[in-house]
């Protein structure tokens, strides 16, 4: 490996690191992606891509690559409760979650990165990271040979035990593990009658979800053995025993292609930025994977950081823009920590009181407003940033709002969706008709801006003369 004027070093080539690298390469930033694994994981691991993450991919024209290979599910779960969360009513091209194995997600992102001219450096063990006023230095070995790289910024996307976070001196506050769950991708000789099974009782909790090629994902927690260490190897026999205890049937469970155990340890980085070092994904937040949120929040971390870092490196914005990464994404991490802890409480306790609580909350989810509130949080559709990055004047109710893919008419009559206009990763200013006053990008260079005039008539923009939209599809402000 050679420096070759590298601008950003990313440690970790999971979905988070790859998403960030793709966003930086879109702007022409020179990036190095370092990964200790010699090849992509062949295990399915994270299965769920939520609707807002698909929208985010759609902002760059990539969503259909993922949708074509996955399975769309219009509902989700909160703590495995009987009443499911309904995603079907959101104003989005993707009112569902997508079941897609993580190894496929990584392959698609890596293919995009290769199209952009970046190959992942594999077999790399990062051992030392340092920063100074001018940049960062990363040293270690690749296939046993020493290397040293220099760049302007360093991103830790290197998981829950992040070396980058540790060497930056960033605290990882939270709750230690108290229980663990078994998980396996297996074949079933006798699959359950319903496509997806979710069962919780005094014996524990069990979830069975169909995968492709005749396999099922089985997740179980046996109430008699809740405290096995996450590092303890999982076995097919243990998974079958847990299934039998909970469902009185092991469904003919056999032929595991992957077995794992995960704990309820929950932690959040105290800072997402330390000078020239940033954290994203599991390096910044870990939790029990309740509701399939971790990878999604991490990929959205990457999008948020990526366009901002690209803008600063291109000279379009001041370095102070990068402070907004922690300001915007750390509260999302706090919310993630809160809702996964709440779900963990109901997923890992099986006494009469907790079972009664589960039944009560499941009944509450039958109320549309309650259901939508939790569906908004888990899907990411409900996220709203609190302050504009640009001018402060205008309609306060637009600040930080997610902008759906509304259909617009340009002045020449061409119909176009808003998200297509964001494919280049730039800010977008829409001016309606001959409005004399446009939302102004006071804080960055105009080269980072696409300005278009649209015909009046889009009902969602009624009363708006001009709307400024960030590269990640959130409204900055409107006038």
**Helix, coil or strand: residue 278:** strand
Instruction: Single out the residue of 123, 162, 173, 106 nearest to residue 277, CA to CA.
Output: 162
What residues form DSSP beta bridges with 33? 10
Examine the pLDDT at 157 and tell me if it is beyond 80. yes
CB contact burial 19-37 (16+ within 10 A = b; e otherwise): bbbbbbbbbebbbbbbbbe
Examine the pLDDT at 448 and tell me if it is beyond 70. yes
Which listed CATH number (3.40.190.10, 3.50.50.60, 3.90.1640.30, 3.30.930.10) goes with 8-175+267-379?
3.50.50.60
Amino acid 435: pLDDT: 65
Sheet holding 136-142, edge to edge: 124-131, 136-142, 145-151
DSSP state of 159: -
Sheet holding 71-73, edge to edge: 48-49, 97-99, 71-73
Examine the pLDDT at 79 and tell me if it is beyond 60. yes
Amino acid 393: pLDDT: 57
Residue 81, C-beta contacts closer than 8 angstroms, at least 6 positions apart = 346, 358, 361, 362, 365
> With bands split at pLDDT 50, 70 and 90, how would you rate the model's confidence at 41?
confident
CA distance 205 to 223: 8
Q: Rounded to 5 degrees, what angle do the CA atoms 143, 116, 420 make?
A: 145
CB 160 within 8 A of CB 154: no
**Helix, coil or strand: residue 274:** strand
What residues form DSSP beta bridges with 119? none
Give Cα 197 to chain centroid, integer Å: 25
Instruction: Single out the residue of 388, 296, 361, 383 nearest to residue 90, CA to CA.
Output: 383
Q: What CATH topology corresponds to 180-263?
A: Alpha-Beta Plaits (3.30.70)
Give kind and range of the element (H or E) at residue 241: helix 236-247
Task: Kindly report the CATH class assigned to 396-478.
Answer: alpha beta
Read off the pLDDT of each residue in 303-326 and give the average, rounded to a whole number.
97
Query: What percentage of the chain reaches a pLDDT higher than 70?
Result: 95
Read off the pLDDT of each residue in 273-280 and give the average, rounded to a whole number.
98
Average pLDDT, the chain: 93
Amino acid 394: pLDDT: 66
Q: What is the pTM of this model?
A: 0.95
Residue 94, Cβ neighbours under 10 Å: how many? Answer: 25
Residues 351-398: tens digit of each pLDDT: 999 999 999 999 999 999 999 999 999 999 999 999 888 756 567 789
CA distance 371 to 369: 5
Q: Rounded to whole angstroms, what are the CA distances from 92 to 4, 68, 100, 406, 425?
A: 41, 17, 19, 9, 19
Cα first-last separation, the chain: 49
Read off the pLDDT of each residue in 90-119 and give the average, rounded to a whole number.
96
Sheet holding 180-188, edge to edge: 197-201, 204-210, 215-222, 180-188, 253-263
CA distance 234 to 334: 31
Q: Please, where in the chain does CATH 3.50.50.60 lie?
A: 8-175+267-379
Residue 396, Cβ neighbours under 10 Å: how many? Answer: 11
**Helix, coil or strand: residue 42:** coil
Amino acid 252: pLDDT: 95
CB 288 within 8 A of CB 180: no
CA distance 102 to 66: 11
CA distance 310 to 436: 31
DSSP state of 472: T
CA distance 222 to 202: 9
> With bands split at pLDDT 50, 70 and 90, how would you rate the model's confidence at 49?
very high
Residues 417-436: tens digit of each pLDDT: 999 999 999 999 999 988 66
Give kind and range of the element (H or E) at residue 142: strand 136-142
Instruction: Single out the residue of 365, 280, 295 nearest to residue 106, CA to CA.
Output: 295
**Helix, coil or strand: residue 342:** helix
The residue behind tokens 């997923």 is 347
Residues 212-252: tens digit of each pLDDT: 888 999 999 988 876 766 667 889 999 999 999 999 999 99
Q: Please, where in the chain does CATH 3.30.70.2450 lie?
A: 180-263
- Burial class, 190, CB count within 10 angstroms (exposed 0-12 / middle 13-18 / buried 19+): exposed
Amino acid 387: pLDDT: 83
Instruction: Single out the residue of 476, 463, 319, 325 nearest to residue 391, CA to CA.
Output: 476
Kindly tell me the sign of the dihedral angle through the C-alpha atoms of 227, 230, 236, 239. positive
3-state secondary structure labels for all residues of 209-225: EECCCCEEEEEEEECCC
> With bands split at pLDDT 50, 70 and 90, how would you rate the model's confidence at 312?
very high
> With bands split at pLDDT 50, 70 and 90, how would you rate the model's confidence at 442?
low
DSSP state of 234: P
> With bands split at pLDDT 50, 70 and 90, how would you rate the model's confidence at 440?
low
Q: Rounded to whole angstroms, what are the CA distances from 18 to 32, 308, 320?
A: 11, 16, 25
């Amino acid at each position: 490996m050679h420096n070759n004027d590298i601008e950003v070093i990313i440690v970790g080539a999971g979905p988070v690191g790859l998403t960030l690298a793709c966003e930086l390469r879109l702007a022409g930033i020179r990036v190095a992606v370092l990964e200790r694994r010699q090849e992509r994981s062949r295990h399915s691991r994270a299965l769920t891509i939520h609707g807002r993450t698909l929208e985010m991919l759609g902002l760059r024209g990539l969503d259909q690559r993922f949708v074509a290979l996955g399975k769309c599910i219009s509902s989700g779960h909160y703590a495995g409760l009987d009443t499911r969360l309904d995603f079907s009513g959101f104003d989005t091209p993707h009112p569902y979650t997508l079941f897609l194995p993580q190894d496929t997600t990584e392959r698609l992102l890596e293919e995009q990165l290769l199209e952009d001219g970046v190959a992942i450096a594999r077999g790399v063990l990062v051992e030392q990271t340092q920063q100074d006023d001018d940049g960062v230095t990363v040293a270690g070995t690749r296939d046993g040979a020493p290397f040293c790289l220099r760049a302007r910024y360093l991103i830790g996307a290197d998981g829950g035990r992040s070396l980058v976070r540790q060497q930056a001196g960033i605290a990882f506050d939270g709750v230690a593990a108290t229980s663990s769950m078994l998980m396996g991708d297996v074949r079933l000789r006798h699959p359950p009658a319903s496509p997806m099974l979710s069962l919780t009782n005094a014996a524990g909790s069990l979830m069975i979800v169909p995968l492709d090629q005749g396999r099922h994902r089985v997740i179980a927690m046996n109430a008699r053995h809740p405290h096995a260490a996450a590092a303890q190897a999982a076995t097919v026999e243990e998974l079958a025993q847990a299934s039998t205890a909970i469902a009185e049937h092991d469904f003919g469970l056999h032929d595991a292609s992957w077995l794992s155990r995960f704990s309820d340890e929950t932690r959040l980085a105290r800072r997402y930025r330390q000078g020239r070092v940033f954290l994203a994904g599991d390096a910044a937040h870990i939790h029990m994977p309740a509701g399939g949120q971790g990878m999604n929040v991490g990929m959205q971390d990457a999008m948020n950081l990526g366009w901002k870092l690209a803008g600063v490196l291109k000279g379009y914005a001041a370095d102070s823009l990068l402070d907004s990464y922690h300001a915007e994404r750390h509260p999302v991490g706090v919310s993630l920590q809160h809702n996964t802890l709440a779900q963990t409480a109901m997923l890992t306790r099986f006494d009469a009181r907790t079972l009664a609580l589960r039944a009560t909350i499941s009944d509450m989810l039958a109320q549309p407003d309650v259901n939508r509130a939790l569906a908004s949080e888990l899907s990411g559709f409900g996220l709203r940033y609190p302050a504009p990055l640009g001018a402060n004047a205008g309609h306060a109710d637009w600040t930080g709002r997610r902008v759906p893919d509304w259909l617009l008419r340009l002045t020449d009559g061409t119909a176009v969706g808003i998200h297509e206009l964001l494919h280049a990763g730039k800010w977008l200013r829409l001016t309606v008709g001959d409005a004399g006053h446009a939302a102004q990008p006071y804080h960055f260079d105009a080269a980072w801006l696409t300005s278009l005039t649209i015909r009046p008539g889009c009902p969602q923009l009624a009363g708006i003369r001009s709307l400024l939209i960030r590269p990640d599809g959130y409204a900055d402000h409107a006038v």
